[in-house]
Amino acid sequence: MTALPSVVEADVVIVGAGPTGLYGAYYAGFRGLSTVVVDVLPQAGGQVMALYPEKQIRDVAALPSIRGRDFVASLVEQANTYSPTYLLGRQAVSLEHIGGSPVVTLDDDTVVRAGAVVITAGIGTPTPRPLEAGGEWLGRGLSYFVVDPEQHADRNVMIVGGGDSALDWADALASIAKSVTLVHRRSAFRGHAATLERVRSGSTVIHTDTEVAALHGDLTAGVLEKVTLRSKSGDETVVPTDHVIAALGFISDLGPLREWGIELTGRSILVDRAGRTNLPRVYAAGDVSDYDGKVKLMSVGFGEVAIAMNHVAVDLDPDLVLFPGHSTDGA
C-alpha cells in the first residue's frame, strides 16, 4: 500500500533556512504568523553553515565579529521564540495555487499548505562538487558537510579541498580529532592566508599536488579504515582514516524553482519593493531576489524579509496595519 503524503499547514512557508530565512521566521512570528521553514540542507544556516561555519562574520550591524556557527545559533534561538516548524533535508519541488492559496510539495511528498510563500533560498540549491573516488561511501564514511564537529572527536579525519571551508574544518577539527589530514590537488591553497598559517603550524598533515585514489574498509557496515592518496608524480600513500570530508565547494542553481512560473533574471527572482513576485502570495527576499539597485548583503536581506513579512501579514488579514510598531512597544 502506498503511503499517503503528510500535510502540514501554516500561515507562511519559508523556502530557505539561511540567515534571511531564519530572521524571516522570527519576524513572521512577531506578526502572529505560524511558520514552516524548508531547506534542502540537513541543518539550518544556509551557506554560513555549509561553507564557513568557523569564519568570523563582520558585516552585520551591532556584531563587530562573530563566528559563523555562533551567528546561526543566535538566529535559530531568535526564530525559536515563535516555535517555527523546520522541515530540513527536504527540497521544495513544486508550487501550485489551490483556492487562491499556495501549496508547496517537497521531495518526500510532504505537502505544505500555506497562506503565503516567502523564498529566501540564497544563491539557490547547493549541490556539493563530488569526490571522484569513493562516491559509494557517501553517508558511510564520506560527507560533504560537518553538522556536528564533536562527531569527529578522537577519529582520524581526512579533509579534501583547498578553499576556505576545507581550511576552516582542518583548523576547527585539529583540537578535536585524533588526527587531521588535509589533501589538495594543487600546490597553492585558495583559502584565507591566516587560517592556512594556523593549519600549517599545527599538527595537521598536509598533502598537496595529491588526489584521493580510493577509500577502503567495510562498505556494508559503513566502517572506513584507510584512504589511498596518489600524487601527481604517481606515488601512492595509504593513510589510516575513519572519515573523509570532501570540502570541494558547491554548484548552486535555483533547481525546481525555475519551473514554478516565477519571473526570473538569470539566477535571481524579480520582486517589487514589497518583495512580491509575479505570482500571488509568493514573495522573495535576500540574495535570491533582485530589483533595480539591489545590493546582495546579509544585512540587506534582513530588511527585505521584514518588509515582505509585514506585507504577507496584511495580505492574509487586511484588517491589520502594515507597520506593527517596534518589538520594544510590546512586553
Residue 92 assigned to a binding site: yes
Distance CA 117, CA 28 (A): 11
Distance CA 77, CA 281 (A): 27
Residue 195 assigned to a binding site: no
The total of other beta-carbon atoms located within 10 Å of residue 155's CB is 16
Q: What DSSP assignment string belongs to 221-262?
A: TTEEEEEEEEETTS-EEEEE-SEEEE---EEEE-GGGGGTT-
Pair type for strands 210-218 and 205-207: unpaired
The SS3 assignment for 23 reads: helix
Distance CA 263, CA 284 (A): 11
CA torsion angle for 135, 137, 138, 139 (degrees, to 10)?
180
Residue 20 assigned to a binding site: yes
Residue 43 assigned to a binding site: no
Q: Which helix (H) or strand (E) holds 10?
A: strand 7-15
Residue 329 assigned to a binding site: no
Residue 2 assigned to a binding site: no
Distance CA 303, CA 284 (A): 12
Residue 171 assigned to a binding site: no
Per the annotation, binding residues for FAD are 20, 39, 47, 52, 92, 287, 328
Which residues carry a binding-site annotation? Answer: 20, 39, 47, 52, 92, 287, 328
